Amino acid sequence: MPVLPNAVLPGASGGTGSVGSQIGSAITSSLLGSVGLSSASTRQNVADMFQYSNKTVGPGPVLIYPQAANDWRVRVSLAPGSTYFYNDPNNILLSPLVKETGGGTSAVQGQVGNLFGSSGSKRVGVVFPYTPQVAVTHNATYTPQEIVHNNYKQYNYTSSEVAAITISADFSVQNVNDGQYLLAAIYFFRACTKMFFGADLNAGNPPPIVYLNGYGQYYLPNVPCVVTSFGHTMPADCDYMDIPEPAATNTGYNPQYQNYRLNSTRLPTTSTMTLTLQPVYSRLAQSQGFSLNDFAAGALINSTGAGMPGSAFGATKQPQYANKGIQNGGFL
């Protein structure tokens, strides 16, 4: 909410003119003040207080999705060259994770979405609509060595690790688009906990690697992870909406889907999703692409313009010791 000016708004009580003109003048002044254009504004606008810095260092990164430059939302995405799940053009159920269908379910909302750029914009994976609760733990293990006739134990360093990252995220369903997006996210994470098996062309392969991004450049820098657990709570104390499958709405309810409600799902208007991600790094990346000095300088995240999935942020400092040809990045 914008900060209102200290000065009395033109047209407020005590002003001149008709009641209608005073109300109109007050509304106009409030709208101008909300974007910092009111001559009566004496405080800094909130939008200016929290705007992104316009300072840049080095060449601009390659944008993977249109709003990447200013998007610090938490997202989980697949490798850019993958051809499964939402990157499979024949997978209609997961299509909401790739492309939005508009600003709403009505024609007017769709036109508004086209006007403001939300229609047809890339999502690139699961983008949590509300800021989730994310817990990241770093561990260093030391093995105690007991020494006889000594007051203190000796501790020998054993190893370090980044423990599993836990995410608790809220979802809301207010229209068909919201419901189809939640359903796609549920099926995506269900699939990420299973291996390719049976009739799959890639039968025998383990569950796929996903990439975790969020909060800007350095906190979750395109971290490679595996999904170790996924849960979704269907609460009993909220309303449920009837959500048709995307295949029905994408075809405009043609005769093939005249009984689309039989293929619909009831989803809660508010629900919580819990997710556990374990960061994983290849032996090659660790042995040749890691340097503690480079890590401490923030040089082991994505190289600028590396084109990593779902991330437009890149390291401003290049590695000095690690192999620069290994651009796996994502070290926590």
Least confident among 8-22, 185-199, 252-266, 276-290: 8-22
pLDDT at 153: 92
Q: Answer whether residue 212 shows pLDDT above 60.
A: yes
Q: Which two tokens stand for residue 230?
A: 């996924």
Q: How many CB atoms lie within 10 A of CB 305?
A: 14
Residue position matching structure tokens 């799902």: 265
Q: Which long-range contacts (CB under 8 A, 24 or more apart) does 21-25 make?
A: none
CA dist., res. 328 & res. 255, Å (int): 48
**Confidence tier at 99 by pLDDT (50, 70, 90):** low
pLDDT tens for each residue of 118-160: 444 466 789 999 999 999 999 999 999 999 998 999 999 999 9
In angstroms, what CA-CA distances link 201 with 72, 88, 153, 166, 189? 36, 13, 55, 32, 20
Residue position matching structure tokens 């819990």: 274
Query: What's the rounded mean pLDDT across residues 74-100?
Result: 86
Within the chain, residue ranges assigned H as helices are: 19-34, 46-49, 107-115, 176-192, 246-250, 283-288, 292-296
Q: Is the Cβ–Cβ distance between 297 and 318 less than 8 Å?
A: no
Q: How many residues does the chain have?
A: 332
In 163-249, beta strands by DSSP E: 165-172, 210-214, 220-233, 240-243
Q: Answer whether residue 241 shows pLDDT above 50.
A: yes
Query: What's the rounded mean pLDDT across residues 30-53?
Result: 50
Q: Answer whether residue 314 shows pLDDT above 70.
A: no
Q: Is the Cβ–Cβ distance between 228 and 142 less than 8 Å?
A: no
Query: What's the rounded mean pLDDT across residues 79-105?
Result: 77
pLDDT at 53: 44
pLDDT at 60: 38
Q: Considering the entire predicted model, what is its pTM?
A: 0.69
Q: Is the dihedral of CA 23, 29, 30, 32 positive or negative?
A: positive
Q: Which residues of 71-87 are buried (b: 16+ CB within 10 A; e: fewer)?
A: bbebbbbbbeeeebbbb
Q: How many CB atoms lie within 10 A of CB 143?
A: 11
In angstroms, what CA-CA distances link 237 with 149, 172, 217, 230, 241? 63, 14, 38, 22, 13
Q: Answer whether residue 57 shows pLDDT above 50.
A: no
**Confidence tier at 30 by pLDDT (50, 70, 90):** low
Q: How many CB atoms lie within 10 A of CB 328?
A: 19
Q: How many CB atoms lie within 10 A of CB 64?
A: 17
